[in-house]
Structure 1
């Protein structure tokens, strides 16, 4: 019969805990109906930590903690960086869009390289605009809100994709136009350079290449920052035993 002793003790202990909890709940409800709280309740829930004048049943709103000076400066720096991404993205659209517009007006075949440049600049500009607008909208809707750890990984993946797009764009047009100048031979231009366009187009494309590499540097910086934030949030999640990606315990 000794093998029954442990289950019976566990059952008895469980029933005793349930009875005590039920009794405490009944005691609290009776005291609440009477407007008087048990002494042990007021000791466990001291009112010294609550605002002056707060009473049981009062809805209390706590202000979100203020950001540190370093966090504010970091936010301002990367907001400025997003603004530069937006402006330089529009610049690339203007530089390459002139040739695409010319081909369209003359009913010529659009060059795929120029179309790729427009698509890359458009995606980057829209992404930068979203990063400029969404933080303020989220903070207005919910003070202190920001990109959560769950969103940081897909955000980094997209930033990495845009960075690769800029790198490819710089490689394509850098190979075509860096170091290229229109060389005249008598009354005709050199065949190797005339195929790239006239003097104004070559100069414009050379400037566009430098704008491309500036955009590449901007997106490398923001992608690296998002990666650092995700790694930091991941370490904090592991330390607290919480899986940020799955939204549950590890």
Structure 2
């Protein structure tokens, strides 16, 4: 069964709460991005137009992030072993922020609700990118800190 003392060895109870809160926030923001960009994809589908690859990319990255967060939030997964995947997701979010930031940060919405929504989506991309960077750095630190111990019991020094 779930053992709080076992889970909290990688940073104590505060570390457990911090990791859970950050992963939950990543999940919520990934689902938000799916909704923000999915609105335009759905409108294009209804109008029998092509789906722009930039929007598809953003939704795919958000979907991969959401699934990753769901996996990492399970109590028996030690997410710090997958620090390289956090790095990959950080780079993907960095690219999404760069692409949409270039398109919309300097854009004047002039009352256009779609452009205003996309300007807001850019800032959600930025927060996602920053959160994945934080979890990448934290997971990398924890991984290399615990690497010197046995993977089975955590007691032996290698």
TM-score of the superposed pair, with normalisation by structure 1: 0.55
Match of 2:157 in 1: 240
Q: Report the 3-state secondary structure (helix = DSSP H, G, I; strand = E; otherwise coil) of the residue aligned with 1:103.
A: helix
Bigger radius of gyration among the two: 1
- How much does 1:116 deviate? 0.3
The question of 1:88 aligning with 2:49 is answered no
Match of 2:16 in 1: 75
Count of equivalent residues: 149
Match of 1:114 in 2: 55
Correspondences of 1:160-179 after superposition (within 5 Å): 160-179=87-106
Q: Distance in 2 between matches of 1:203 and 1:219?
A: 25
Q: Distance in 1 between matches of 2:56 and 2:146?
A: 38
The answer to whether the 8 A contact 2:26-2:65 is kept is yes
- How much does 1:152 deviate? 4.0
Gaps in structure 1 of 5+ consecutive residues: 1-62, 139-145, 184-197, 242-250
Distance verdict in 2 for CA 1:65–1:226, change over 3 Å: closer
Correspondences of 1:175-186 after superposition (within 5 Å): 175-182=102-109
Aligned-residue CA RMSD (Å) = 2.3
TM-score of the superposed pair, with normalisation by structure 2: 0.85
- How much does 1:157 deviate? 1.2
Gaps in structure 2 of 5+ consecutive residues: 151-155
- How much does 1:170 deviate? 0.1
- How much does 1:64 deviate? 9.3
Higher relative contact order (CA 8 A, sep 6+): 2
The question of 1:157 aligning with 2:78 is answered no
